Structure 1
Amino acid sequence: MKVLLLGEFSGMHQNLAIGLRKFGVDVTVASDGDGWKNYPRDIDLSRDIKRNSFLYLLKLLRNIPNLSGYDVVQLNCPKPFNATATFNRIAFNFLKQLNKNIFLGAHGMDTRYISFALDGKLKYSVFQIPSIQNDPHIKELRNLIKYKSELKLNDKIASQSKGIIASSIGYYLSYTDYFSSKTTYIPLSIDTTKYTYTSTIGDNPQKIKFFLGMMEGRIVRKGTDIIHKVLLELKRRYPNDVELTIVKSVPFNEYQNLLNSSHVLCDQMYAYGIGLNGLIAQAKGLIVCGGADEEMYKALGEQNNKPIVNINVSEDEMLKSFEFLIKNKDKLKEISIKNRAFVVKHHDSKTVANRYIEFWKEKIETTN
């Protein structure tokens, strides 16, 4: 099988490619590296936004031979190219002519997700928190669905794709209204052989080391402003039991080094599950606090091991969850091991890749 993974979100396709190659799949990753994050890829589709779109088009045209002849093209979103909706619509038409089967990924806030969330159909969504609706980025997302070209592009690609793969419950639910027969949920993947158990938590640590990474421009919509506030209160109440590491927009390698010396990662709010940084932390044996909704565990088929500390709660309840860790230091090593076991079972790149392969084959067989 020859597969093109087109586009990138936080290394998602890079990690998926690792798993696919373990099954002997011929994989090519083509992306812009997710902007400044600069994730590795086989074909570079980065764009200098200071230069006009015609030059970007020429770059894509030169890459047509490298974007052709695949059994499967997996898009990371309806706009895998860093350009307008019209540009992406034309590019999609070319991809359909040059390749056998195209699949859509639902991994971010596309127009279908935004519309679904604004209709109040999700349990967790940044659009349901009144206090953050003036955030510039949230305003930008709300305005996106006012453009017919954006809405039409999303619906066109969803309609003409062989299948749709969502990596979170929220994204999955937003597509099942209209595309239930072709939509499935497959969780994010990471290479658990690369991220090994490195926890230094010990059997009964004197101090618990909490870590919070805050990304400029995403602080409000990830809820890290609230998490930060609660952690400061925790430190005030338990100065001898808590050590805080708070960083803002640090490079990935520096982030990982800081993570390695921590015990607890506070990931994000307003989500059904955790993101890739949370999964990496779990693989390393950190206790992860983030989205941990029962719908997520149910979709994974997990009934016994539910190690994520749910912080989709009020500030008072979040503080109580953190206090539980402080008051039960003798249980932290066990929780740490359960976090590692959870991510290996459900998110290992080979396990997730196998689910992708099975879904691709199923949809190709039933639609051809």
Structure 2
Amino acid sequence: MRILLVGEYSGFHNTLKEGLIQLGHEVILIGDNDFKNYPLDISVYAKTFKDNYVLNKIRQAIFRLTTIDLAQLEIAFRFFLNRKKLIGFDIVQLINEYPLHSNLYLEKKMLNYIFKNNKKTFLSSCGDDYPSVKYMLEDKFKYSVLTPCKTNPKLGHCQYTLCYATKPFKELHEFVYQNCIAVIPGDLDYAIPLQNHPKALPLIPYPINIDKNEFSPLIIKDKIIIFHGINEANYYKKGNNYFEKALEIIEEKYGDKVEITTTRSIPYATYIKLYNKAHILLDQTFSYDQGYNALEAMAKGKVVFTGAEQEFTAHYNLKERVCINALPEVESLVTELSHLIENPEEIIAISKRARAFIEKEHDYIIVANKYLEVWKKN
């Protein structure tokens, strides 16, 4: 089959593409790109207005005066420049309701072109979208990325996340759902809000390339190495404030037994090099399930503090822990870290179970086959 994947910001579509190609299919990936610079076959990244210092300053000035973002216009220009390459696909999958990040009028124009010129379109529920943000605002999760916004609405991520609940984004959501055959959630944080939705299909786990993310057996010689990589833009969204307070206590309590590495918004290659040395990785506190960063670390055998709520263990029928459920509570984080430091054999055991879990549930070839079955059946 010819398959078009639209959008990329985590490695999800790149890894799915790798699995689909292994299974003999032709795959094209189009997207805007963020600072992680994932590979794309067709890039609509607004490099003219984002990468040129002078033009970027002009762009910002025009935006302040008119609210028109020239970079969003450039995205649409690059899309339609490549429009002839975007027709005749058997399957299209959008990574999200807002996969290309142009202004909403042009986003609809681009998506409408895709809908009209290809056979079947599916939607992945991955990243902020109208159903998940609406569910958060209704306080149906016991905690979410919007929890910090209740005490401080001015936090950087709040306005960005909340925009998905506005009327214009609701209209985009409805337009996309009308034109997609079905929506496939990528983890429980998106599957739970879609329960009982007529277009929602069962969750398909994110694909992880287990060949690239090799398992490295943990060896604890002297100190237990804890890695905490902070992206400043998502500081409160990921619960880094809880991790930092917990680490202060752990440092004071077990200074001779631990080595703590904290980084802030460093290049991805440096980040990976440092986290490869770690035994324990601190990921996020406000999720029910794991995102890409956590899953790749688990594949390598790290003990990851991330989302692993009861809904997660029930969904996968887990009897033993494959990661640590990181609650947005300093005392809980200190308790969990202390237990691991005092019982290093548990670190080794969880490491092995983490890898086995990824191989069973997230192997990119197995996951690619699941997508193919769903696409053919619906």
The TM-score with structure 2 as length reference comes to 0.90
Give a deviation string over 1:271-301, Cα, whole Å, max 9, x none.
01122111111111111111111212333x3
Structure 2 counterpart of 1:70? 89
Counterpart pick for 2:123 among 104, 122, 136: 104
Identity %: 29
Distance of aligned partners of 1:181 and 1:201 in 2 relative to their CA distance in 1, 3 Å threshold? same
CA distance in 2, matches of 1:117, 1:86: 26
Q: Return 5+ residue gaps in structure 2 as ranges.
A: 50-55, 60-69
Q: Secondary structure at the match of 1:74?
A: strand
Distance 2:305 2:377 in 1: 36
Match of 2:137 among 100, 113, 118: 118
Question: Cα distance, 1:336 vs. partner?
Answer: 1.4
Residue 35 of structure 2 aligns to a residue whose secondary structure is helix
Aligned twin of 1:282: 298
* 1:201-242 superposed Cα distances (whole Å, 9 cap, x missing partner): 24xx43110001100110101101111110121011111111
Cα separation, 2, equivalents of 1:282 and 1:173:
23
Measure, in 1, the Cα distance between the counterparts of 2:227 and 2:246: 13
How far 1:143 moved relative to its partner? 4.1
Cα displacement string for residues 304-330 of structure 1 (whole angstroms, at most 9, x for unaligned residues): 343211112521121111011011113
- The residue type paired with residue 39 of structure 2 is P
Hey, what's the Cα distance between the residues in 2 that align with 1:71 and 1:184? Answer: 21
- 3-state DSSP of counterpart to 2:234: coil
Q: Over the residues paired in the alignment, what is the CA RMSD in angstroms?
A: 1.7
Partner of 2:276: 260
Q: Deviations over 1:149-202 (max 9, x none)?
A: 21101122123211111112121122335x344333111121111111124424
Q: Are residue 182 (structure 1) and residue 197 (structure 2) matched?
A: no
The match for 1:212 is: 228
For the residues of structure 1 that align with 2:264 and 2:209, how far apart are their CA atoms? 25
Matched, 1:21 2:40: no
Following the alignment from structure 2 to structure 1, what is the Cα–Cα distance between the partners of residues 256 and 247?
Answer: 14
Q: Is 2:313 aligned against 1:297?
A: yes
Q: 1:17 is aligned with what amino acid?
A: K
Distance 1:313 1:221 in 2: 11
Q: Report matched runs for 1:1-368 at 5 Å.
A: 1-33=1-33, 35-48=34-47, 49=49, 50=56, 52=70, 53-129=72-148, 130-146=150-166, 148-177=167-196, 179-202=197-220, 205-299=221-315, 301-312=316-327, 314-363=329-378
* Cα shift readout 1:12-44 (whole Å, capped 9, x = no counterpart): 1101111111211211111123x1111011111
The residue type paired with residue 217 of structure 1 is A
Measure, in 2, the Cα distance between the counterparts of 1:289 and 1:56: 36
Q: How many angstroms apart in 1 are the aligned matches of 2:319 and 2:348?
A: 18
The one-letter amino acid of 1:325's match is L
Q: Is residue 212–residue 266 contact of structure 1 (8 Å, CA) maintained in 2?
A: yes
Structure 2 distance, partners of 1:224, 1:72, is 39
Q: Normalized against structure 1, the TM-score is what?
A: 0.92
Q: 1:144 to 1:78 in 2, by over 3 A?
A: closer
Secondary structure at the aligned position of 1:323 is classed as helix
SS in 1 for 2:296: helix
Preserved CA contact (<8 Å) 1:167 1:188:
yes
Q: Which amino acid aligns with 1:40?
A: P
Unpaired stretches in structure 1, ≥5 consecutive residues:
364-368
1:54/1:310 CA distance change after superposition, 3 Å: closer
Corresponding residue pairs, total: 357
Q: Cα offset for 1:55?
A: 4.1
Distance 1:54 1:125, change over 3 A: closer
My pick for the range that moved more, 66-75 or 125-134, is: 125-134
